[in-house]
Amino acid sequence: MTATSAAALPQTGQITAAPRRLGAPLWVAFLLIVLAFLVIYPLLMLLFGALSDSNPVIDGFGKFRPSLDHFVKVLFNENVHLAFFNALVACGGGTVLAVTIGLAFSWIVVRTNTPFKGFIAGASMIPLFVPPLVAGVAWGILGSPKTGLLNTVFKWIGIDWRVDFYSMAGLIIVFGIYYAPYVYMFTASALRNMDPSLEEASEVSGASAFTTIFTITFPLIAPAILAGSLLSFVVMLGIYGVPAALGAPANINVLTTYIFRLTAWSPPLYNTAAAVAILLMIVTAILVWAQQRILAGKSFATVAGKAFRPRALDLGPWRWFTFGLASLYLAIVVILPTLALVIAAFRKFLFIKDFDALFDMRQYSWVHFNAVFDNPLTMKSIWNTLEVGAITAICGGALAFAIGYTVNRTRVSGRTSIDLLATLPVAIPGLVVGVAYLWAWIGLPGGLYGTIWILALAFVARFMPDTVKALSTSFLQIHKELEEAAWICGRGLLGTIRTIVLPLARPGVVASMTLLFVLAIRELGSSLFLYTSDTTVMAVLLLDYYEGGNTGKTAAFSLVQTVILAVLLGLTNWLSRGAAQSSARVG
């Protein structure tokens, strides 16, 4: 669409207001009620806990004993300061690494003619399926200073150098490589949807490919980079499994391991944990505010009403170099830890004296898989997990679409509050949010407690920020002129969403729902409080294997989980490709 035709249109505000006037306040009220139930009510419970020394369900609201003790304890405890500092270093370093890897990867996959791109793209998402606890365990097996497989190999080939993943550097590397897919998801879809004419203009003006990347391409997808890095930073802040497995042996504590200790204390100190959680929320709120301030007033619309195909840069012989880089990353992030897990899952015991002992086939068997499938809880947990994952993906996807659309594509009053409320849960660590949901929802009439639905609701609420942010990137990139064209042609709001917005945003919607599905399947913290004997999920069973000191069974069960996820994600990837093709046709 040209500038001339756009100028011929009436003012945007007049058009967008027209179809929404009738239902807008009702719609906003509806969303606010849903968010109040999912976010505010549990958060109030959390605040109640942090500001008192009573339990809202057990003691009742009537016995509210206000107290700032928990905050004071937390603020003046030097171990909390150290844990906070460690968390910032580990997550900050991890984010820098994740952004570097994720961005490079998405550029290689989307904008170059590197060979086997499809395969690289698929394989690079694998770290996302791996529960953090399993990632920590796998890298412990690989990188332990005393018995790590990498060190065993170095010793065998006569290299004196040794790696030590039980360290801050180990934490940063593992965080960085496992959360790079978050950045990749955001930036790849932004790069895919970007009009290449801007880059072409840059090159025609004499800029080199390198200059174009750093002055045109990356600045244009800044919202995606910022959203991806913010999300990965905040998600890292809330991860327990990696620092528990790698930080604990080196006595490196971060906030989550501190919170876990508080909740595992006898008696559990949830009120203090809630105070730490509130502090985490403040940090996150500052980050979100900073992100919005940076992006405010800038337009990042790069998907316009013009057909285009993302341009692949011809790298010539250098394409084998990028292929080599991608392969190296995949070897480090997929093959090595998977190999460690396979060895752990099939080996009876993980005592490996030297390199030759690794090939002693008498030590390998199916014993851990047999034990896992002998357990009647295994099949039950798999089925429950799939059910709760599907419900979460569908309900959460629909809600995130509704919120994302309202926040990004309309000017209704109240949309800022909706955005804020939908972002809040990201800051609350899973273990604490689990108890907040339990406090909030156990007393509800209608028998919600004890069903799969309460788990799904908790997951929808907990992962709403991730889903909404992932979708918002897609919305930001669709130019308003496309919707305006539909309204001029007489389409109503719902018709426009159905025929224009949904098809164009479909890759983003499918990606968000997939993300939600994966996150729901991995989620442990809130499951632990809401599952019952009939609604056990895989994450709870995995923790049980880990807590039981069964690395073999933990590895076997996580391989089972990975295979199930890989099959399901293969399916959604196939669906998403179909969606991308049909949206290309629409565009």
Residues that bind other proteins (CB under 8 A): 55, 57-58, 79, 82, 144, 146-147, 244-245, 248-249, 251, 253, 257, 261, 263-268, 270, 348-353, 367, 375-377, 435, 438-439, 442-443, 449-450, 528-529, 531-534, 540-541, 544-551, 553
Q: Which residue has the tokens 């060979």?
A: 115
Q: What type of residue is 85? A: F
Supply the minimum distance, in Å, between the C-beta of residue 60 and other proteins: 8
Tokens encoding 585: 């046709």
CB atoms near residue 62 (< 10 Å) = 6
Kindly tell me which of 55 and 573 has the beta carbon lying closer to other proteins: 55
Distance of CA 505 to the CA centre of its chain: 19
Q: What type of residue is 214? A: F
Supply the minimum distance, in Å, between the C-beta of residue 421 and other proteins: 25
CB atoms near residue 561 (< 10 Å) = 23
Supply the minimum distance, in Å, between the C-beta of residue 214 and other proteins: 43
Distance of CA 186 to the CA centre of its chain: 11
Residues 527, 539: Cα–Cα separation, whole Å: 8
Supply the minimum distance, in Å, between the C-beta of residue 461 and other proteins: 18
Supply the minimum distance, in Å, between the C-beta of residue 168 and other proteins: 15
Kindly tell me which of 27 and 449 has the beta carbon lying closer to other proteins: 449
Distance of CA 128 to the CA centre of its chain: 8
Supply the minimum distance, in Å, between the C-beta of residue 274 and other proteins: 12
- Dihedral sign (CA 67, 73, 74, 75): positive
Residues 47, 50: Cα–Cα separation, whole Å: 5
Asked if 391 and 452 touch (Cβ cutoff 8 Å), the reply is yes
Geometric angle at alpha carbon 573, from 131 and 322, rounded to 5°: 80
Supply the minimum distance, in Å, between the C-beta of residue 466 and other proteins: 24
Supply the minimum distance, in Å, between the C-beta of residue 266 and other proteins: 5
Kindly tell me which of 193 and 263 has the beta carbon lying closer to other proteins: 263
What are the Cα distances from residue 218, in Å, to 104, 145, 471, 502, 556? 11, 39, 19, 26, 41
Angle between helices 376-409 and 24-35 (to 10 degrees): 140
Residues 56, 345: Cα–Cα separation, whole Å: 44
Asked if 466 and 399 touch (Cβ cutoff 8 Å), the reply is no
Alpha helices in 249-302 (DSSP H): 255-264, 270-295
SS (H, E, C) 290-325: HHHHHHCCCCCCCECCCCCCCCCECCCCHHHHHHHH
Kindly tell me which of 297 and 374 has the beta carbon lying closer to other proteins: 374
- Residue length, the chain? 587
Supply the minimum distance, in Å, between the C-beta of residue 131 and other proteins: 16
Q: Which residue has the tokens 């004296």?
A: 353
Supply the minimum distance, in Å, between the C-beta of residue 375 and other proteins: 6
Supply the minimum distance, in Å, between the C-beta of residue 540 and other proteins: 8
Query: Residues 6 or more apart from 508 whose CB is under 8 A from it?
Result: 189, 470, 471, 473, 474, 475
